[in-house]
Amino acid sequence: MYLYHYGFRKLPFSLTPDTDLFCSLPSHKEALNTIHFALSTGESFCKITGEVGTGKTMLCRWLMNQIGQQRTVAYIPNPVLSPKELKLSLAHELGLRVSSKTPNEQIIPRIQKRLIELNKKQGPVILIIDEAQCLPDESIETLRLFTNLETETTKLLQIVLFGQPELDEKLSKRSLRQLRQRIAFSHQLKKLNLSESKAYVSHRLAKAINKREGRVNCQQAVDITWASFVFLYMSSGGVPRLLNILCHKALMLCFGRGNKKVSVFDIVKAINDTEETRISWRRKKLFTIAMSLSVVSSSSLAWWLSS
């Protein structure tokens, strides 16, 4: 690819969550602080929501790396599971040998015994569930029952939910009010503003640079004009995943020209080559044209009246 051309040691805008490229932006810092506080105070549940592409999975992986040395972490990335399948998944994460043939009434006691063992060594186990909006209602109720597993002083299991805004809609149901009331702390990830988008792109470029090349900063490897950053922000709406896609394509186009300066034209080509941004870009472009015409018309009218 273009690694050698730019002097990168890895792709800076891969869609695979690489915690080495994690950029701690204000909204992500707030989310991490919320989670750490909830866990340190012994809360049963903590919830982090955000639109598609705002970095929930990256945040999830970063959290696992941070707390994995001090606490036992169980991770369920695909929670489209029945209540029994959810119990089996947790049991497997805890290192228990169970199968679909294991009687349902035996699974919870074995999980509880294992949680007690782990609690004596490292404290309560942390269960992290990604894409939590996909959980069936019956499995959400099973999660609530998990938090009933406790000693006289502490919970044996603390649960962190990561999900899209649909998770909030699901939890608003009256039938799930018992679990909803147990979520004392939550945070909603926000999209990036223009300055945060620029910081995000610059951070990933800087982290991807091969230090052995002797480069001091990303500007020696890639030159992205301010106008290009504005186009990136307008077309992506500040969504990190879309920023990654557009930047990756723009770097490929720039590489194809044998250049290291990403131009506005490279960004526009990347926008038009990406369905999600192409649609939103057309809407924003039409809106911009309409606003410009409105301003021109108003100015002309004011000039005509004054004359």
Residue 80 phi, psi dihedral angles, 5° rounding:
-80, 75
pLDDT given at position 2: 82
List, in sequence order, every residue forming a beta bridge with 224; answer none if it has no partner.
Answer: 262
Range of the domain at 218: 192-288
Same domain, 36 and 184: yes
pLDDT given at position 214: 45
Same domain, 225 and 177: no
Out of 131, 161, 188, pick the residue that ends a domain: 188
Same domain, 82 and 111: yes
Q: Using alpha carbons, select from 166, 158, 164, 165 the residue that is nearest to residue 182.
A: 158
Any domain includes 271: yes
Out of 142, 163, 188, pick the residue that ends a domain: 188
Answer whether 0.75 is exceeded by the pTM. yes
Same domain, 111 and 66: yes
Any domain includes 302: no
Out of 154, 188, 222, pick the residue that ends a domain: 188
Q: Using alpha carbons, select from 40, 33, 185 the residue that is nearest to residue 124.
A: 40
Q: What is the CATH number of the domain that holds 54?
A: 3.40.50.300
pLDDT given at position 305: 43
pLDDT given at position 295: 40
Same domain, 163 and 118: yes
Q: What is the CATH number of the domain that holds 247?
A: 1.10.8.60
| Burial group, residue 67, by CB count within 10 angstroms (0-12, 13-18, 19+) | middle
CA angle 19, 20, 21 (to 5 degrees): 85
Same domain, 37 and 183: yes
Are 54 and 162 in contact by the 8 Å Cβ rule? The answer is no
CA angle 6, 10, 14 (to 5 degrees): 105
Q: Could you state, in chain order, the average pLDDT of each consecutive group of 10 residues for the chain (307 residues)?
A: 85 90 92 94 94 93 87 92 94 92 90 93 94 94 90 89 95 92 94 93 89 51 84 91 94 90 89 81 50 42 44
**3-state SS, one letter per residue, for the chain:** CCHHHHCECCCCCCCCCCHHHCCCCHHHHHHHHHHHHHHHCCCCEEEEECCCCCCHHHHHHHHHHHHCCCCCEEEECCCCCCHHHHHHHHHHHCCCCCCCCCCHHHHHHHHHHHHHHHHHHHCCEEEEECCHHHCCHHHHHHHHHHCCCECCCCECEEEEEEECCHHHHHHCCHHHHHHHCCEEEEEECCCCCHHHHHHHHHHHHHHHECHHHCCCCHHHCCEECHHHHHHHHHHHCCCHHHHHHHHHHHHHHHHHCCCCEECHHHHHHHHHCCHHHHHHHHHHHHHHHHHHHHHHHHHHHHHHHHC
- Rounded Cα distance, 224 and 220, in Å: 11
Same domain, 199 and 116: no
pLDDT given at position 132: 95
| Residues 6+ away with beta carbon under 8 Å from 263 | 225, 228, 254
pLDDT given at position 249: 94
Q: Using alpha carbons, select from 238, 235, 255, 256 the residue that is nearest to residue 201.
A: 238
Any domain includes 15: no
Same domain, 159 and 43: yes
Q: Using alpha carbons, select from 131, 150, 145 the residue that is nearest to residue 176.
A: 145
- Rounded Cα distance, 176 and 181, in Å: 9
| Overall domain count for the chain | 2
Sheet with 183-188, side-by-side order of all strands: 73-76, 125-129, 157-163, 45-49, 183-188
Same domain, 97 and 121: yes
Residue 46 phi, psi dihedral angles, 5° rounding:
-140, 140
- Rounded Cα distance, 283 and 299, in Å: 24
